Structure 1
Amino acid sequence: MAIAQFTPAIIGGIYWKKGSRHGALSGIIAGFVIWFFTLVVPTIVTAGFLPQSLMDDGLFGWSILRPYQLFGMQEMGYVSHSLFFSLSTNVIVYVFLSLYTTQTSKEHNQAVVFVDIFKYSTIMDSSIIWKGQAYLPDLKSLLDNFLGVEKAELALQEFTQGTGRELGVKNYADPELVNYSERLLSGIIGSASARILVGSVVKEEEISMEEVLNILRETQELKSLNLELKKKSKALKKATQELRNMNETLRLNDMLKDEFISTVTHEMKTPITSIRAFSEILMDEDLPDEDRQRFLDIIIQETERMTRLIDQVLDLERFDSGRQKLNLEKSDTKILVLQATESMLQVFKEKSIQFELNLQFEELYMHVDEDRIKQVILNLLSNASKFAKSKVMLNSFIDESKWKLQVWDDGKGVPEEEIAYIFDKFFQAKNQTSKKPVGSGLGLAISKKIIEYHDGEIGVSRQGDLTCFEFSIPIQANEKLNQTYTTADEQNIDRR
């Protein structure tokens, strides 16, 4: 009978989460008291140690408190009577005190483990149960701060739906919810940091030195990961910018190619139209000899114009493919410059442009391809004549073991956004003095290739109101200049 008094506490501990230690102990004590009064006291009375009036009149003279007839029940046997009232009192006291007293964190955690041991979701880690007890509002606030209000609400809904459990009892969070919250935070700030934060809202939970060391290690790892992420982010930004630049270059080249095709088509169409028109006129037998000769000269000029355009396209293709050869000869650069500028004097005169030539050395011999270097100088002077308002100046000098040549003009200059593309093929500046850009857009591109084939450099700059195109070529050693090349074939250098 005495052992039976433990039954309500045991069954309640297995199947009822709200049972408390105070309720269980009080129920057991109450059950023992009733058992002692209904079975043991009558034996003591029979032995003569207590008065018989206790059995006849009841405790304190109350008939409802007679040991064998509690509350007037006479039909039951002594043992059944004692078992019924002792267990009933035990259960009533246990349930009443459990409901109206607050469980400690340990009691609540143990109740969760024993009562819901078979109800844990397979996705929940039920092996770790916090010893402390957390207030539900504090835990929600912690999740809101790190997950955001919406994500925190979704996480709590997933918890209740996935486990079939309530978030907590009254204001106390369910222990498994505390554990679930720790795992959520671990994915954001690391397991040790999450443990520290959750521990800050859990009562009766002490943080060990090992956990403090873990958070320090995780912090160091996060710093390293952050640095690595910054490096990768910079590399990604750089790659993205390079792709954008390449895309912009491709877009610009496509646009320039379209303009080039339009320009070349126009440049080819104009001489063809002239050749056809004058050829039809020449078919007239009555045409005077003077007019006939003039028309023939025009046809030849237009043919030469077409030939130059085709040669430019072919030159650029050979340079780009690496099949172009240079005919290097020991050349007097001073004479080379004079010969190149002589053919442009008439152009400057017709446009009323003042031309100034400054050769700042007496003699300079270099191994260069004379025709190609003349072509570069002519391209630069021709380009200057398109932009100049009133003056063009050519300077040629030696600077730091390099032969340098500059062509200055007082034109509108090269816009900042066009400098990067000025030497690209098909490019034509938009600020020429003529309404429509003149030329094929290949002259400067070919000039750049020629200078680069001579191991030199070419560029453009702006100083005040003047624009300067400049190229420089390294001066070869004296002993190389004194070498004698017997044939032109020996001087051809394949720059592929």
Structure 2
Amino acid sequence: MELILVALLIPSVYFSARFFLLSRNIKKSIKDFKYISENRDSNRKLKLNHPDKNFEKLLFEINRYLENTQANKLKYIKREEEIRKEIENISHDLRTPLTSIRGYLELINDETISEKEKKDYISIMQKRSKVLQNLIQEFYDLSRIENNDYNLNMEIVDINRELREQILLFYNDFESKNIYVDINLDKNPVLVKLDGGAIKRVFNNLIQNSIKYSKSSFCMSLIKNDNEVIVEFRNDVEDISKDELSLLFNRFYMKDKSRSSDSSGLGLTISKFLVESMNGEIDVELDEDWIIFRVKFLLD
């Protein structure tokens, strides 16, 4: 009889002890979880120190949820900071030409200025208005691209001809900055399925970027092989590091760290979106004092 009682008592003591430990751990976990919920920045976790495997699994899943919540919170904070910075940049970019236009409007109202001065001021305002229009268009286009609302009309485009036409548009800009230009294009048409307007914009943005940052030389070349075509835009550049290369396609990033009244810093960002939307690739590398942008498309 005593042996039977002992046999029954041992399991009872064992399960009572486990229940006590489980109850104590639950109470402690509830207390810790309440603290963590009220102090999200503490980065504390629930301790997995109970012999019950199911309870440990529960704590593990709760910890994983807390980690994901913290990671999402950090992403949200980072994105909020990026949005705040972008709003500041947009406000600055729009305010600069507007301030210039308002200033010249006040000068035009001055009765003491000559007709020639008035014409000069009107001409400047027209240029500032064009800059403002382009800035607004870039903001609008970026929004459409990011929301997959930028419709592409894919057709057969002669990349060779597009490059020739685009480089001619900037002949005077290269001349005024005394930039030596070296063009190496194919003699025959190079046909690729692209959106005509989009590829014009990509080439336009990359050439403008080269003009802005070239020290003295610019080279544009087209390389065609069996299955792809590569367009390279090279220019010599000052004061740029390899660490900066990864930032060049970021929204609003500018190499000179200062906002320009003629640029939003979105040209390369939009170019990357457009190239990738047309199933192409765009990358950048630094070769000593030369920065090289490469645009690649597969040939059909």
If the length of structure 2 is used for normalisation, what is the TM-score?
Answer: 0.69
**How far apart, in 1, do the equivalents of 2:135 and 2:170 lie?**
19
Tell me the residue number matched to 1:399: 225
Gaps in structure 2 of 5+ consecutive residues: 15-50
Tell me the residue number matched to 2:278: 454
Q: Which amino acid aligns with 1:396?
A: L
Tell me the residue number matched to 2:258: 436
**How far apart, in 2, do the equivalents of 1:265 and 1:335 lie?**
38
Higher relative contact order (CA 8 A, sep 6+): 2
Instruction: State yes or no: 1:475 paired with 2:299.
Output: yes
Tell me the residue number matched to 2:90: 264
Q: 1:257 to 1:469 in 2, by over 3 A?
A: farther
Please, which of 119, 135, 139 is the counterpart of residue 293 of structure 1?
119
**How far apart, in 2, do the equivalents of 1:467 and 1:314 lie?**
29
SS at match of 2:139: helix
Q: Which amino acid aligns with 1:409?
A: N
Contact 1:355–1:392 (CA<8 Å) still a contact in 2?
yes
**How far apart, in 1, do the equivalents of 2:73 and 2:170 lie?**
39
Q: 1:410 to 1:248 in 2, by over 3 A?
A: farther
Tell me the residue number matched to 1:318: 144
Q: Tell me the CA shift for residue 435 of structure 1.
A: 5.4
Tell me the residue number matched to 2:107: 281
Contact 1:413–1:466 (CA<8 Å) still a contact in 2?
no
Gaps in structure 1 of 5+ consecutive residues: 1-112, 126-186, 189-228, 477-496
**How far apart, in 1, do the equivalents of 2:11 and 2:154 lie?**
84
- 1:243-258 to 2 correspondences below 5 Å: 253-258=79-84
Q: Which amino acid aligns with 1:384?
A: S
Q: Which amino acid aligns with 2:90?
A: V
**How far apart, in 2, do the equivalents of 1:272 and 1:330 lie?**
40
Instruction: State yes or no: 1:368 paired with 2:257.
Output: no
Could you give the per-residue CA deviations for residues 185-238 of structure 1, whole angstroms, max 9, x where no partner exists?
Answer: xx69xxxxxxxxxxxxxxxxxxxxxxxxxxxxxxxxxxxxxxxx9xx9xxx8xx
Q: Which amino acid aligns with 2:234?
A: W
Q: Larger Cα Rg: Structure 1 or Structure 2?
A: 1
Tell me the residue number matched to 1:381: 207
Could you give the per-residue CA deviations for residues 257-284 of structure 1, whole angstroms, max 9, x where no partner exists?
Answer: 3333222222211211121122222234
Identify which range, 438-447 or 251-260, moves more after superposition: 251-260
Contact 2:248–2:268 (CA<8 Å) still a contact in 1?
yes
**How far apart, in 2, do the equivalents of 1:331 and 1:247 lie?**
45
Please, which of 223, 234, 243 is the counterpart of residue 416 of structure 1?
243
SS at match of 1:325: coil
Tell me the residue number matched to 1:124: 13
**How far apart, in 2, do the equivalents of 1:387 and 1:455 lie?**
28
Tell me the residue number matched to 2:182: 356
Could you give the per-residue CA deviations for residues 428-473 of structure 1, whole angstroms, max 9, x where no partner exists?
Answer: 04xx3x4514432321121112112222111222334432211112
Contact 1:423–1:448 (CA<8 Å) still a contact in 2?
yes
Count of residues paired in the alignment:
250
Tell me the residue number matched to 2:216: 390
If the length of structure 1 is used for normalisation, what is the TM-score?
Answer: 0.44
Could you give the per-residue CA deviations for residues 304-357 of structure 1, whole angstroms, max 9, x where no partner exists?
Answer: 111000100111112122222234454432221122122333333333433322
Tell me the residue number matched to 1:303: 129
Contact 2:192–2:297 (CA<8 Å) still a contact in 1?
no
SS at match of 1:124: helix
Q: Which amino acid aligns with 2:13?
A: M
Matched residues, percent identical?
A: 23
Could you give the per-residue CA deviations for residues 129-150 of structure 1, whole angstroms, max 9, x where no partner exists?
Answer: xxxxxxxxxxxxxxxxxxxxxx
**For the aligned residues, what is the CA RMSD?**
3.6
**How far apart, in 2, do the equivalents of 1:472 and 1:319 lie?**
20
Q: Which amino acid aligns with 1:410?
A: D
Could you give the per-residue CA deviations for residues 389-442 of structure 1, whole angstroms, max 9, x where no partner exists?
Answer: 3322211121342222111223244533751x5334x2404xx3x451443232
Q: Tell me the CA shift for residue 303 of structure 1.
A: 0.8
